[in-house]
Amino acid sequence: MKLQKLAKSFLGMSLAATMLAGCTGNGGGTGTTPAATNEAPANTANADAGSAAGTAEAATDPAPANGAKVGVSMPTKDLQRWNQDGANMESQLKAAGYEVELQYAANDVQQQLSQIENMISNGCDVLVIAAIEGSSLGEALDMAKGAGIPVIAYDRLIMNSDAVSYYATFDNYKVGTVQGNYVKDTLDLDNAAGPFNIEFTAGDPGDNNAGYFFNGAYDVLKGYIEDGKLVVVSGQKTFDEVATPTWATETAQSRAENILSSFYADGTNIDVWLCSNDSTALGVENALAANYNGTYPIITGQDCDIQNTKNMIAGKQSMSVFKDTRTLASQVVKMVGQIINDEQVDVNDTTTYDNGVKVVPSFLCEPVFADANNYTKILIESGYYTEDQLK
Ligand code: BGC
């Protein structure tokens, strides 16, 4: 019986002997977490797309699909990256011989719950879920557990549930440290006199990743804030104060507009706007364009969305963090195959991601620094975008 076979596979989990190229071999995170456009690039749904700097290697030799069906639940079509993730997962799973049920939930938790329940009723053997809200999937997860269906948390950890079997993501804390170190190095904080003015914009409080990104960056910069070299002019520096519900560009923009009119309208310069990702960076960039005439600040981001990459090329965003969705998808397809075939499941972190009930065995892929100087190599030469898409 297929489900019994799948349930047995949990006994076989162990650390992977080999790592994927482009994925990290160490834990990376420190467990310090608190609590656009939506166009899918033409050729991101290609499992065999070339690699750049080792970022896009496909997992090798996926195990046979054995007629299994995989449910893939994505949060929204509104942000570019989830369209890419969904398209990559679907095409790579189909290429490996699986039947696939892919659903997007319009950032609506109830919709995601009922889509997952339908996947279970429709006979999916494994579920891959990128949660809208990490803690809100209890009922559907209980149902999956009752039916013996393994669940892989995709990119975002599913919280407070023992029904989640594995987690595959990029090293979230490291994403934040890449952003923080970029600010530190660009301003030469160890040597420059300063002081420099900084503001922060973080992500969705319902997304477990958001705290890791913020803490990764803040941990790099907090010493400079404490000794006065970096000044948070608005005074808003806790995660809760700087968070952006649902990562919405409009919400980040209106908060940035308020900050600019309240604290910078007198001609005060802003030197850095540390944004956790591209959708929020876009909001800050829009606010600056309409409400700020001072020296243009350093702006960080994450995802290398098309509009943000264009903004990097145009000098309106300083950097982003590239998380090659092809790499994550191929790792997850590999995990699915290992589960289906009762093989050991590759993980490379068994300490960082405590979801409140258990430490979830995880595979962390490596995020890559991106800016106007290296985007050609990592985004175009790797086949992630065409040159035309960035015009
Ligand atoms: C992802 C980021 C993304 C954000 C908004 C996070 O969970 O890790 O890559 O920018 O969600 O969609």
Terminal CA-CA length for the chain: 53
- 158 in the same domain as 176: no
Write out the residue range of the structural domain in which residue 191 sits: 172-322
Query: What is the distance of C-alpha 283 from the center of its chain?
Result: 18
- 137 in the same domain as 13: yes
- Tell me, what's the pLDDT at 47? 32
Centre of ligand 1 from the C-alpha of residue 228, in Å: 31
Q: Can you tell me the mean pLDDT for 91-117?
A: 96
Residue 388 lies inside a defined structural domain of this protein:
no
- Decide: 303 in ligand 1 pocket, CB within 6 A: yes
Nearest CA to ligand 1 atom 9: 303
In this structure, the chain runs to a length of 391
pTM above 0.75, yes or no: yes
Q: Is the pLDDT of residue 166 over 50?
A: yes
Q: Is the pLDDT of residue 155 over 80?
A: yes
Residue 375 lies inside a defined structural domain of this protein:
no
Residue 387 lies inside a defined structural domain of this protein:
no
Residue 373 lies inside a defined structural domain of this protein:
no
Which CATH number fits the domain that encloses residue 245?
A: 3.40.50.2300
- Tell me, what's the pLDDT at 125? 97
- 344 in the same domain as 234: no
Picking from 258, 291, 322, the residue at the C-terminal end of a domain is 322
Rg, Å, the chain Cα set = 21
Residue 380 lies inside a defined structural domain of this protein:
no
- 208 in the same domain as 141: no
- 311 in the same domain as 242: yes
Q: Is the pLDDT of residue 8 over 70?
A: no
- 291 in the same domain as 209: yes
Centre of ligand 1 from the C-alpha of residue 303, in Å: 8
Amino acid (one-letter) located at 29:
G
Structure-model confidence comparison of residues 4 and 184, the more confident one: 184
Q: How many domains, the chain?
A: 2
Q: How far apart are alpha carbons 111 and 101 in whole angstroms?
A: 15
How is residue 140 annotated by DSSP? H
Phi-psi region of 246 (alpha: psi -120 to 50; beta: other; left: phi over 0): left
- 294 in the same domain as 188: yes
As given in the structure block, the two tokens for residue 234 are: 């608005």
> Which atom number of ligand 1 is nearest to the Cα of residue 276?
10
Closest CA to 29 of 319, 354, 299: 354
Task: For residue range 220-268, list pLDDT tens digits in order.
Answer: 999 999 999 999 999 999 999 999 999 999 999 999 999 999 999 999 9
Q: In this structure, are residues 346 and 338 in contact, taking their beta carbons and an 8 Å threshold?
A: yes
Residue 391 lies inside a defined structural domain of this protein:
no
- 107 in the same domain as 140: yes
Strands 164-170 and 362-365: parallel
- Decide: 316 in ligand 1 pocket, CB within 6 A: no
- 135 in the same domain as 99: yes
- Decide: 280 in ligand 1 pocket, CB within 6 A: no
Residue 76 lies inside a defined structural domain of this protein:
yes
Q: How far apart are alpha carbons 388 and 391 in whole angstroms?
A: 5
* Percentage of the residues of the chain whose pLDDT score is greater than 90: 81
- 341 in the same domain as 214: no
Centre of ligand 1 from the C-alpha of residue 172, in Å: 10
- 334 in the same domain as 312: no
Residue 385 lies inside a defined structural domain of this protein:
no
- 180 in the same domain as 159: no
Q: How far apart are alpha carbons 103 and 115 in whole angstroms?
A: 7
